[in-house]
C-alpha cells in the first residue's frame, strides 16, 4: 500500500505517504466545506473564514504566524474552493512539529474578533474589486453562473460585495461551529515521516474534537443553456464556451481527460495549433474540465479581438464536431496519454502534490488511486471511447457561453452560438 489511513473515533481521517528520499514534509488540513454549502445571503463566508484564520490566535499574532515558518524556510498557505477548504504547510522534516503547532493553533484558537473581522472585510472587498478588473478570470465565474443559474456552484467562491459586507464575526463563528467538525476533516501528510509518527502527533490534538455539524445535502444543479455577456471596454474579448461535464467519481473521467488534452490541453492541442499558430486569431486559447461531487464543467476559453470572435467560434465547433464524429487520431491518442502520464509522474516529485492527492481523493472518493492505477486507466482509453464520450459530452442543446467585452447586447453572440449548435 503506497499510503496509509487512520480514522479516529470521532471521524477525523488521517492519511500519510512516506517519501523517504526527500528532506521535506507537506501537511494539509482539509475541511469538507466550500462555497457550495453557502446560502445566497452568506455567499463568500467560507473564503472569509480562510482569511480570518491567519489573523491571529490566543497564542500568536498575525505577524508571528507569518514569521515562524518563514524563519525556518517553510511555507504556509490556504485556499477555498466550491466544495472544500485547505490549510497547508511545507517544512523540513525536522520542523514538522512546528507546522502542526501553527496550523492547529490557527484552526482551534483563532481569535475571529469583531475588530479583526471588520478590518479584513475591507481586504476582501478590495480583492473582489481586483477580481472584477481581471476579465480573463472573471469570465470563468460568469460561465459557471450561466450554466448553473440559481445553484450555489454557479456563485463565485469569493462572494459579492453585498454579501461580504453583510457578514459579521458572529456569522463566521456560527458557520465554523456548523461545518468545521471532525466528520468533515481530513488530514494528509506526505514526505520524510512515518505513518506512526504522524498519528502519534495528531491523534491527541484532533481526537478530542466533538460535534457532527450540518450534513451536506447535495442537490445536483440543473443545466441551463444560454448566453451571458457583460459590456466592458476591454481591448480583448474574453469568452468561454462549454457544456456540463462529469463528476470526479465517474469512470469516464479519464476519457474526458484525453479529449481535453487533444482539444485544448496544451501547446500541441488542436485549438492552439489551429486558432493561434495557423490563423493568428488569439493570444490564448485552451480547454479545461473541472469535476465536483455530482457534476462537472467543460469549458473552452479564448482571449481575442472582437472582430475575430465569430471565426474563432466556428473553428472551435469545427474541432468539436470532428472529435464527435471521428474521435481523436491514434497518434493524438498516444501523445495525449504520454502527456497526461508525464504530467502526473513529474508532479509527484513534489511532496505538496502527494499531500494534495491524498486529501482531495479521500474527500471525493474515500480512497486514493496509485499512479500505476491511473496510468492503467489512461492506457485503456481507445479511439472509439473518445467518439462515444465526446458525443455524450458535446450535445448541441447543452452548450452555453459567457463573454466580457465591448458588447451592446448579447444578440450577436446568441445568434452565432445558435447557428453553430446546429
Strand partners, 284: 303
Instruction: Return mean pLDDT, the chain.
Output: 95
The verdict on domain 227-421 having CATH code 3.90.1660.10 is: no
pLDDT at 161: 96
Confidence of residue 155 (pLDDT cuts 50, 70, 90): very high
Instruction: Say if residue 203's pLDDT is above 90.
Output: yes
Instruction: Say if residue 128's pLDDT is above 90.
Output: yes
Burial class (CB in 10 A: 0-12, 13-18, 19+), 204: exposed
Confidence of residue 327 (pLDDT cuts 50, 70, 90): very high
Confidence of residue 314 (pLDDT cuts 50, 70, 90): very high
* 274-294 pLDDT, tens digit each: 999 999 999 999 999 999 999
pLDDT at 16: 98
Instruction: Say if residue 236's pLDDT is above 80.
Output: yes
- What are the grid coordinates assigned to 382, written together? 481507445
* 47-82 pLDDT, tens digit each: 999 999 999 999 999 999 999 999 999 999 999 999
Q: Helix, strand, or coil here: 399?
A: coil
* 11-47 pLDDT, tens digit each: 999 999 999 999 999 999 999 999 999 999 999 999 9
- What are the grid coordinates assigned to 239, written together? 469568452
Delimit the domains of the chain by residue range: 4-207, 227-421
Q: Which of 35-39, 102-106, 130-134, 414-418 has the lowest mean pLDDT?
A: 414-418
Confidence of residue 149 (pLDDT cuts 50, 70, 90): very high
- Confirm whether 50 is a catalytic residue: yes
Confidence of residue 359 (pLDDT cuts 50, 70, 90): very high
pLDDT at 1: 66
Percent of the chain with pLDDT over 90: 90
Q: Which of 76, 72, 96 is nearest to 86 (CA)?
A: 76
Question: Residues 6 or more apart from 346 whose CB is under 8 A from it?
Answer: none
pLDDT at 422: 65
What φ, ψ does residue 306 adopt, rounded to 5°?
Answer: -60, -40
* 368-414 pLDDT, tens digit each: 999 999 999 999 999 999 999 999 999 989 999 999 999 877 887 88
Q: Which of 27, 47, 26 is nearest to 37 (CA)?
A: 47
39-51 b/e (C-beta count within 10 Å ≥ 16 → b): eeebbbbbbbbbb
What's the start-to-end Cα distance of the chain, in Å?
A: 50
pTM for the model? 0.94
* Catalytic residue from among 6, 38, 50, 412: 50
* Mean pLDDT for the stretch of residues 128-138: 94
Percent of the chain with pLDDT over 70: 100
Instruction: Say if residue 214's pLDDT is above 70.
Output: yes
Confidence of residue 419 (pLDDT cuts 50, 70, 90): confident
pLDDT at 420: 76
Confidence of residue 217 (pLDDT cuts 50, 70, 90): confident
What φ, ψ does residue 199 adopt, rounded to 5°?
Answer: -65, -40
CATH T-level fold of 4-207: Cytochrome Bc1 Complex; Chain A, domain 1 (3.30.830)
Amino acid at each position: 500500500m503506497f499510503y496509509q489511513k487512520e480514522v479516529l473515533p470521532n471521524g477525523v481521517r488521517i492519511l500519510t505517504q512516506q517519501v523517504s528520499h526527500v528532506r521535506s514534509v507537506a501537511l494539509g488540513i482539509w475541511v469538507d466545506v466550500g462555497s457550495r454549502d453557502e446560502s445566497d445571503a452568506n455567499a463568500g463566508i467560507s473564503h472569509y473564514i480562510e482569511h480570518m484564520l491567519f489573523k491571529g490566535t490566543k497564542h500568536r499574532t498575525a505577524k508571528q504566524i507569518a514569521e515562524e515558518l518563514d524563519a525556518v524556510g517553510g511555507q504556509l498557505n490556504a485556499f477555498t474552493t466550491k466544495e472544500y477548504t485547505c490549510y497547508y504547510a511545507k517544512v523540513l522534516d525536522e520542523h514538522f512539529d512546528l507546522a502542526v503547532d501553527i496550523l492547529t493553533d490557527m484552526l482551534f484558537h483563532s481569535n475571529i474578533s469583531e475588530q479583526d473581522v471588520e478590518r479584513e472585510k475591507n481586504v476582501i472587498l478590495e480583492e473582489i474589486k481586483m477580481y472584477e478588473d481581471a476579465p480573463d478570470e472573471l469570465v470563468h465565474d460568469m460561465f459557471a453562473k450561466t450554466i448553473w443559474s440559481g445553484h450555489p456552484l454557479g456563485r463565485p467562491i469569493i462572494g459579492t460585495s453585498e454579501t461580504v459586507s453583510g457578514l459579521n464575526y458572529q456569522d463566521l463563528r456560527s458557520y465554523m461551529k456548523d461545518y468545521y467538525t471532525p466528520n468533515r476533516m481530513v488530514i494528509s501528510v506526505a514526505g520524510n515521516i512515518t505513518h506512526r509518527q504522524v498519528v502519534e502527533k495528531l491523534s491527541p490534538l484532533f481526537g478530542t474534537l466533538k460535534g457532527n455539524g450540518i450534513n451536506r445535502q447535495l442537490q445536483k444543479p440543473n443545466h441551463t443553456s444560454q448566453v451571458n455577456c457583460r459590456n466592458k471596454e476591454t481591448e480583448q474579448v474574453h469568452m468561454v464556451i462549454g457544456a456540463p461535464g462529469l463528476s470526479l467519481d465517474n469512470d469516464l473521467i479519464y476519457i474526458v481527460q484525453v479529449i481535453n488534452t487533444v482539444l485544448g490541453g496544451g501547446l500541441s492541442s488542436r485549438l492552439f495549433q489551429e486558432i493561434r499558430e495557423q490563423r493568428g486569431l488569439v493570444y490564448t486559447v485552451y480547454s479545461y474540465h473541472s469535476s465536483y461531487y455530482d457534476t462537472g464543467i467543460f469549458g473552452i476559453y479564448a482571449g481575442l479581438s472582437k472582430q475575430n470572435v465569430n471565426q474563432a467560434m466556428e473553428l472551435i465547433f469545427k474541432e468539436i464536431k470532428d472529435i464527435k464524429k471521428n474521435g481523436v487520431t491514434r497518434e493524438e491518442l498516444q501523445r495525449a496519454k504520454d502527456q497526461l502520464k508525464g504530467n502526473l509522474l513529474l508532479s509527484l516529485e513534489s511532496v505538496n502534490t502527494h499531500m494534495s492527492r491524498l486529501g482531495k481523493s479521500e474527500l471525493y472518493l474515500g480512497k486514493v488511486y496509485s499512479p500505476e492505477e491511473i496510468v492503467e486507466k489512461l492506457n485503456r482509453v481507445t479511439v472509439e471511447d473518445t467518439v462515444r464520450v465526446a458525443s455524450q459530452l458535446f450535445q448541441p442543446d447543452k452548450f452555453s457561453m459567457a463573454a466580457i467585452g465591448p458588447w451592446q447586447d448579447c444578440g450577436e453572440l446568441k445568434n452565432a452560438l445558435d447557428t453553430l449548435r446546429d
